[in-house]
A and B are shown apart, each in its own frame.
Chain A
Amino acid sequence: DAKTTQPTSMDCAEGRAANLPCNHSTISGNEYVYWYRQIHSQGPQYIIHGLKNNETNEMASLIITEDRKSSTLILPHATLRDTAVYYCIVRVAFFLNSNSGYALNFGKGTSLLVTP
């Protein structure tokens, strides 16, 4: 899996957009970018994933640069409940009959603090 680099921590004011960057300069053509978050001591929660097109769901938007070497997770209107550690993970898709059980490498992530 390609290595990812994220800032250790970030702050964001409540109601503002939180933009969390992730660098994955060695990403391969068949690797997807996944984002998870972990609110203090809770189980990690899947947010969004993408290959090369920008993606949006009810939680966030994912912007992937054209060269795919970096991406940004956007929380459009951050709330206090968005305070969490955000993990950017790069991984090939699991296809039918895959026998790989390799763990996702969550790394250290970015600790996002949303302030009032």
Chain B
Amino acid sequence: EAQVTQNPRYLITVTGKKLTVTCSQNMNHEYMSWYRQDPGLGLRQIYYSMNVEVTDKGDVPEGYKVSRKEKRNFPLILESPSPNQTSLYFCASRRTSGGSGANVLTFGAGSRLTVL
């Protein structure tokens, strides 16, 4: 089954304790991205990657890092989490070729992060 897998799905941590949210896709998609969703603010893009070793900032990159060493994986790293990073996080992927279908994002199930 074509899917984007995120882990962990739920995490409670404390301020300053480094954590990584993993994301993996099995569709050979070139493009991957991370969004966060907060009440009243909607979905906001954190980082995206057009392909292996190519990453760029989205709208809200502060406090986050990413890496894209392999095509299928795009981990989100919080080096020193703070309470304002408490949010629902989604990883998504899509292909980058082929016209209108290349705007079809496949999302993961989400990771709910609480930073105390």
| Chain A residues near B (Cβ < 8 Å) | 32, 34, 36, 41-46, 49, 51, 89, 91, 93-99, 101, 103-104, 106-108
Contacts and interface: CB of A to CB of B under 8 A. Distances in A.
A104 B103 contact: yes
B27 to A, nearest CB: 13
B103 A108 contact: no
Contact of A43 (B56, B100, B108): B108
B96 A94 contact: yes
A106 B108 CA distance: 16
A44 B105 contact: yes
A95 B99 CA distance: 5
B25 interface: no
For the complex of A and B, the 7 pairs showing the least CB-CB separation, nearest first, are: A43-B107, A103-B45, A94-B102, A93-B100, A101-B48, A106-B43, A96-B97
Given A43-B108, A95-B99, A103-B33, 4 more contacts: A93-B102, A95-B97, A96-B96, A103-B45
A104 B105 CA distance: 9
Interface of B: 4, 31, 33, 35, 42-45, 48-50, 56, 58-59, 88, 90, 92, 96-100, 102-110, 112
B81 to A, nearest CB: 20
Contact of B42 (A32, A34, A36, A107): A107
Contacts of B58: 101, 103
Main secondary structure on chain A at its contact with chain B? Answer: loop
A103 B45 CA distance: 6
Contacts of A101: 31, 33, 48-50, 56, 58
A96 B98 contact: yes
A2 to B, nearest CB: 14
B109 A43 contact: yes
A79 B90 CA distance: 26
Contact of A98 (B35, B44, B96): B96
